[in-house]
Amino acid sequence: MFSLSEENYLKSIYHLEAIHGKGISTNSIAKKLETKASSVTDMIKKLAEKEVLVYKKYQGVSLTKLGRKEATKIVRKHRLWEVFLVEKLNFSWDEVHDVAEQLEHIKSPKLIDELDVFLGFPKMDPHGDPIPDKDGKFQKIEKKLLSTLEENKIGICVGVNDSSSDFLKYLDKNNISLGQKIKVLSKESFDGSSTILINSKEITISKKISNNIYIQS
């Protein structure tokens, strides 16, 4: 059994590995968890003892198979709760994160699988991120960044790369949501900004924005 803190470390390392591969630095974990590197060192020693990750001094850490399995369970819980909050309790996609962050630590063998049934086995959360099934298997979703879409091509928004409240509110304001059709009208090579068509309305978005929207085309 893992403590709340241990679970948060596992989840953070899991997410960092998804971006940077194996060998996650103490510092990057500290940054993600908004704590100090020395605290991280203490905790990863403990987690190494529990065999959820491999740690060699000064070399960073990598999750073991067991560690990945544990982390996946937490991600599953987090994302299922997000679906519940949005679909059943009228939360908007920028409101769910903090609550799901708490709910993901509830321990009950039955709870999460029944929640899954209740929600109809959703395959993705409100931000378009895939929800692992009971066995930890993800459904692979074809997606690319909006910034890679060429001029005059059309894509469907299927996810976001940044789930911060600020970004999601920006998207809401501009009517960008999952399933939304987006056409790239033009791209400015100087700053990477682009003008896109949404709901027959033209808007211009920066490179930073198009780099955080996933589409399927």
Structure tokens at 209: 């924005």
Q: Is 108 in the site for DNA (CB under 7 A)?
A: no
Closest CB to its own copies among residues 98, 150: 98
Candidate segments 41-49, 91-99, 128-136, 152-160, binder of its own copies by CB under 8 A = 91-99
**φ and ψ of 199, to 5 deg:** 50, 45
Least spacing, CB of residue 145 vs DNA, in Å: 27
**φ and ψ of 145, to 5 deg:** -75, 145
Q: Is 5 in the site for DNA (CB under 7 A)?
A: yes
Q: Is 114 in the site for its own copies (CB under 8 A)?
A: yes
Among 12, 14, 53, 60, which residue sits at the site for DNA (rule: CB under 7 A)?
Answer: 60
Q: Is 21 in the site for DNA (CB under 7 A)?
A: no
Q: Is 115 in the site for its own copies (CB under 8 A)?
A: yes
Query: Which among its own copies, DNA, none contacts residue 3 (Cβ within 5 to 8 A by kind)?
Result: DNA
Task: Please tell me the distance from the alpha carbon of residue 105 to that of residue 178, in angstroms, as a whole number.
Answer: 27
Nearest to 8 by CA among 37, 36, 34: 34
Q: Is 134 in the site for its own copies (CB under 8 A)?
A: no
Query: What string marks each residue from 32 to 51 as x (binds DNA by CB under 7 A) or -?
Result: -x-xxxxxxxxxxxx-----
Candidate segments 25-33, 52-60, 96-104, 172-180, binder of its own copies by CB under 8 A = 96-104
Q: Is 121 in the site for its own copies (CB under 8 A)?
A: no
Least spacing, CB of residue 51 vs DNA, in Å: 15
Query: Which among DNA, its own copies, none contacts residue 174 (Cβ within 5 to 8 A by kind)?
Result: none
Contacts of 208 (CB under 8 A, 6+ apart): none
- Largest Cα–Cα distance of the chain, in whole Å? 57
Number of residues this chain uses to bind DNA (CB under 7 A): 27
- Positions touching DNA (CB under 7 A) are 3-6, 8, 25-28, 33, 35-46, 55, 57-60
